[in-house]
């Protein structure tokens, strides 16, 4: 492949030490960082994908004090080396800007790793799942809660919903809660209802409901986040250091998967002092990733955080609003109804003729958006169906009319069925979409055949339409709703192929490789107002990098499964997760001591 570095076209930035030689080629620095006379580190010996505006190819990167101070040819950059400069040979691997997971759930991911696994990603049928549940229940003492996660009838064809009687027989002495893979529905046995203080006279909470039969008795099905929260609030709590330990491990998991920054919309209060716990872990000197979050709006109201007040390690960006629900729990607020068949009625529990539901009335949503918009927050809005997208855009338009803001960048999360006209309207209003692309990979077959039909499935996650509307869109995996996997997400955006390459879904919505790369680097940085500090390899930006075994631009997307993440760097320092560290040992000892003394909430 012919690669060249053109001085005259500003193909690479230089530092002040080279200005006498190449002054005509020196672009303006992006920050006020003062370049040193020599670099602390120089990375070389592999492809360097800068993702700068010109998609410049580079041979070397110099780093000092956690920032990038030079990018260009090895001959030029190496002149900044001194006796104490660390020369880091990439050994043929590819250096990229640090990947950004723009929509993930670190607390849920940390906790779900400690419950009974009933995922369709790791089991083949209903019998295997019930065997796993039985083993998990047998490990508990009578009266102890049993939590399971991963129920997914959209992946396992024979996964019929359990009856309340079946759940009671399975766990006659334990409260049992089985959470769906989508995190928008669950099943509970009678002891779980009792432990949560829920009886026949308990009204359905806002944003969810407890399914009942014709006589008003519970069926065991719990729909949507508002109803599920009644159960999770009653599950046992442990000392804060125990949660900090789990979160420390989870942040390391993000790093080993290739991420250097994560954004967590919808931070749920399933552990004590959940926002403070995440901040404590993120601000630790050894934290392997940077963290931004959008707490539930009710929880944000209880804090003293202010807009744009982050410290580079942790930041609260704004509130998360659930405008509608999950496609697989009947909550996606669409213009046309779900398909009516045995699968939607009996596996997903969706009533015939249902078009999904909106969480708020128009007036409620408008009041919330107006308030947080006026206060200067960036709003993260879960909106899957066309009706949900329209309701949110209406609310933003009203807020902009009353309190104009030039650069709010309010976000639409998932945006499954957003239409081309809505994408254009969103662009005009300054609203930016982030697409949950794994809907195509893991659920495309079920969407097309059983849930919304082929026409709507073809336009699910309309990424290329967003590109045509000049959006700086992003993609995400919504972990733990689907496994972490940046290369899988990019591959799906490029190929639009379902799991096991069984079906091509929405060929017109395919995007090119560079657009997919931008979706988890510079576009993602822009969506969280961080494009001046990360997202590309340019002078002045943070030295946050992801290293891959091969170059995404040179390997066909069909073969990206073979590409591995071989490392990450944060502030120019290589991240090296350890199974046991002094920090982890301290947390385990603190948790054990507090358990012994019962000194926790």
* Other beta carbons less than 10 A from residue 483's beta carbon: 15
Mean pLDDT of 481-493: 96
Whether residue 224 sits in one domain with residue 125? yes
Q: Which of 189, 211, 232 is the last residue of a domain?
A: 232
Q: Is residue 410 reached through a cis peptide bond, with omega within 30 degrees of 0 on the bond before it? A: no
Confidence of residue 443 (pLDDT cuts 50, 70, 90): very high
Please give the pLDDT value at position 9: 33
Average pLDDT, the chain: 91
Please give the pLDDT value at position 37: 59
Say if residue 311 is exposed, middle or buried (CB neighbours under 10 Å; 0-12, 13-18, 19+). exposed
Whether residue 214 sits in one domain with residue 179? yes
Whether residue 127 sits in one domain with residue 160? yes
Whether residue 116 sits in one domain with residue 33? no
Give the CATH number of the domain where residue 35 resides.
Answer: 2.30.40.10
- Choose among 99, 44, 103, 102: nearest CA to 535: 99
> In degrees to the nearest 10, what's the CA dihedral of 273, 275, 276, 277?
80
pLDDT tens for residues 517-541? 999 999 999 999 999 999 999 999 9
Q: Please tell me the distance from the alpha carbon of residue 420 to that of residue 432, in angstroms, as a whole number.
A: 13
Which residues are CB-contacts of 489 (< 8 A; sequence separation ≥ 6)?
437, 438, 475, 476, 477, 520
Q: Does residue 62 lie in a domain region? A: yes
Whether residue 110 sits in one domain with residue 227? yes
Please give the pLDDT value at position 494: 98
Please give the pLDDT value at position 207: 78
Residues 256-284 as b or e (16 or more Cβ within 10 Å = b): ebbbbbbbbbbbbbbbeebbebbbbbbee
Q: Please tell me the distance from the alpha carbon of residue 185 to that of residue 216, in angstroms, as a whole number.
A: 19
What is the CB-side half-sphere exposure of residue 337 using CA atoms within 13 A? 10
Q: Please tell me the distance from the alpha carbon of residue 175 to that of residue 188, in angstroms, as a whole number.
A: 8
Q: Does residue 563 lie in a domain region? A: yes
Q: Does residue 120 lie in a domain region? A: yes
Instruction: Find the radius of gyration of the CA atoms of the chain.
Output: 25
> In degrees to the nearest 10, what's the CA dihedral of 588, 591, 597, 601?
180
Q: Does residue 590 lie in a domain region? A: no
Q: Does residue 7 lie in a domain region? A: yes
**Who has greater pLDDT, 24 or 355?**
355
Whether residue 131 sits in one domain with residue 83? no
13-27, 42-56, 475-489: the lowest-pLDDT one:
13-27
Question: Which 8-state DSSP code applies to residue 593?
Answer: H
Q: Please tell me the distance from the alpha carbon of residue 331 to that of residue 416, in angstroms, as a whole number.
A: 12
Say if residue 190 is exposed, middle or buried (CB neighbours under 10 Å; 0-12, 13-18, 19+). middle
Q: Does residue 340 lie in a domain region? A: no
Q: Please tell me the distance from the alpha carbon of residue 302 to that of residue 267, in angstroms, as a whole number.
A: 13
Whether residue 114 sits in one domain with residue 37? no
Cα separations in angstroms, 122 against 126, 135, 149: 12, 15, 12
pLDDT > 90: what percent of the chain? 80
Q: Residue 272: is its pLDDT beyond 60? A: yes
- Choose among 495, 240, 209, 498: nearest CA to 357: 209
Whether residue 21 sits in one domain with residue 64? yes
Q: Which of 199, 232, 265 is the last residue of a domain?
A: 232
Whether residue 159 sits in one domain with residue 194? yes
Whether residue 13 sits in one domain with residue 120? no
Please give the pLDDT value at position 21: 32
Q: Does residue 296 lie in a domain region? A: no
List 542's β-bridge partners, or say none. Answer: 67
Q: Residue 362: is its pLDDT beyond 80? A: yes
- Choose among 167, 191, 187: nearest CA to 179: 187
Cα 447 to the chain's mean position, in Å? Answer: 21
Whether residue 38 sits in one domain with residue 114? no
* Other beta carbons less than 10 A from residue 107's beta carbon: 24
Confidence of residue 4 (pLDDT cuts 50, 70, 90): very low
Helix (H, G, I), strand (E, B) or coil at 519: helix
pLDDT tens for residues 374-387? 999 999 999 999 99
- Choose among 583, 559, 586: nearest CA to 488: 559
List 99's β-bridge partners, or say none. Answer: 259
pLDDT tens for residues 172-228? 999 999 999 888 899 999 999 999 999 999 999 987 899 999 999 999 999 888 899
Confidence of residue 601 (pLDDT cuts 50, 70, 90): low
pLDDT tens for residues 129-174? 999 999 999 999 999 999 999 999 988 888 999 999 999 999 999 9
Give the CATH number of the domain where residue 165 resides.
Answer: 3.10.310.70
Number of domain units in the chain = 2
Please give the pLDDT value at position 2: 35
Q: Residue 7: is its pLDDT beyond 60? A: no
At 136, give phi and psi (nearest 5°).
Answer: -65, -40
Please give the pLDDT value at position 599: 59
Q: Which of 187, 211, 232 is the last residue of a domain?
A: 232
- Choose among 61, 64, 103, 204: nearest CA to 439: 103
11-25, 66-80, 413-427, 432-446: the lowest-pLDDT one:
11-25
Q: Residue 15: is its pLDDT beyond 50? A: no
Largest Cα–Cα distance in the chain? Answer: 86
The domain in which residue 76 lies consists of 1-92+537-570
Please give the pLDDT value at position 299: 93
Whether residue 216 sits in one domain with residue 153? yes
């Amino acid at each position: 492949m012919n690669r060249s570095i053109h001085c005259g076209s500003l193909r690479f930035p230089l530092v002040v030490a080279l200005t006498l030689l190449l002054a005509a080629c020196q672009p303006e620095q992006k920050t006020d960082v003062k370049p040193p006379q020599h670099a602390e580190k120089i990375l070389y010996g592999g492809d360097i994908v800068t993702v700068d505006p010109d998609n410049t190819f580079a041979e070397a990167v110099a780093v000092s004090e956690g920032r990038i101070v030079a990018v260009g040819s090895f001959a030029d950059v190496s002149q900044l080396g001194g006796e104490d400069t660390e020369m880091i040979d990439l050994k043929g691997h590819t250096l990229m800007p640090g990947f950004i997971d723009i929509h993930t759930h670190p607390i849920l991911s940390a906790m779900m790793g400690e419950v009974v696994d009933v995922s369709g990603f790791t089991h083949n049928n209903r019998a295997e799942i019930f065997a796993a549940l039985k083993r998990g229940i047998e490990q508990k003492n009578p009266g102890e809660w049993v939590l399971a996660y991963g129920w997914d009838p959209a992946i396992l064809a024979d996964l019929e919903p359990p009856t309340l009687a079946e759940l009671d027989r399975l766990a006659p002495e334990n409260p049992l809660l089985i959470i769906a893979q989508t995190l928008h529905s669950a099943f509970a046995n009678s002891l779980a209802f009792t432990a949560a203080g829920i009886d026949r006279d308990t009204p359905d909470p806002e944003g969810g409901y407890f399914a009942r039969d014709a006589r008003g008795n519970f069926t065991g099905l719990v729909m949507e986040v508002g109803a599920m929260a009644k159960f999770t609030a009653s599950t046992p709590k442990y000392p804060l250091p125990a949660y900090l330990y789990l979160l420390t491990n989870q942040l390391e998991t993000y790093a080993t998967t290739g991420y250097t920054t994560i954004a967590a919309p919808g931070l749920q209060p399933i552990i004590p002092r959940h926002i403070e716990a995440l901040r404590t872990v993120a601000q630790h000197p050894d934290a392997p990733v940077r963290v931004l979050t959008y707490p539930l709006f009710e929880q944000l109201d209880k804090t003293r955080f202010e807009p744009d007040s982050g410290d580079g390690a942790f930041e609260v960006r704004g509130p998360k609003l659930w405008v509608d629900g999950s496609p697989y729990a009947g909550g996606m607020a669409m213009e046309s109804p779900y398909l009516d068949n045995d699968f939607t009625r009996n596996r997903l529990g969706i009533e015939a003729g249902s078009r999904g539901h909106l969480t708020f009335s128009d007036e409620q949503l408008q009041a919330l958006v107006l308030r947080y918009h006026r206060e200067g927050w960036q709003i993260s809005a879960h909106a899957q169906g066309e009706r949900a997208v329209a309701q949110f855009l209406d609310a933003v338009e009203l807020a902009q009319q009353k309190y104009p803001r030039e650069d709010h960048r309010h976000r639409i999360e998932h945006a499954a069925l957003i239409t081309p006209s809505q994408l254009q309207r969103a662009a005009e209003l300054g609203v930016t979409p982030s697409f949950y692309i794994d809907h195509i990979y893991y659920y495309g077959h079920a969407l097309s055949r059983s849930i919304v039909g082929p026409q709507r499935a073809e336009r699910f996650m309309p990424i290329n339409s967003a590109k045509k509307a000049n959006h700086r869109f992003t993609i995400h995996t919504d972990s733990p709703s689907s496994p972490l996997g940046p290369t899988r997400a990019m591959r799906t955006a490029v190929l639009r192929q379902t799991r096991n390459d069984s079906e091509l879904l929405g060929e017109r919505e395919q995007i090119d490789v560079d657009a997919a790369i931008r979706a988890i680097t510079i576009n993602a940085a822009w969506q969280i107002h961080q494009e001046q500090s990360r997202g590309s390899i340019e002078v002045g930006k943070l030295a946050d990098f992801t290293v891959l075994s091969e170059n995404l631009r040179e390997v066909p997307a069909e073969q990206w499964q073979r590409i591995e993440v071989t490392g990450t760097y944060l502030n120019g320092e290589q991240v090296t997760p350890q199974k046991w560290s002094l920090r982890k040992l301290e947390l385990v000892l603190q948790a054990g001591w507090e358990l012994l003394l019962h000194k926790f909430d």
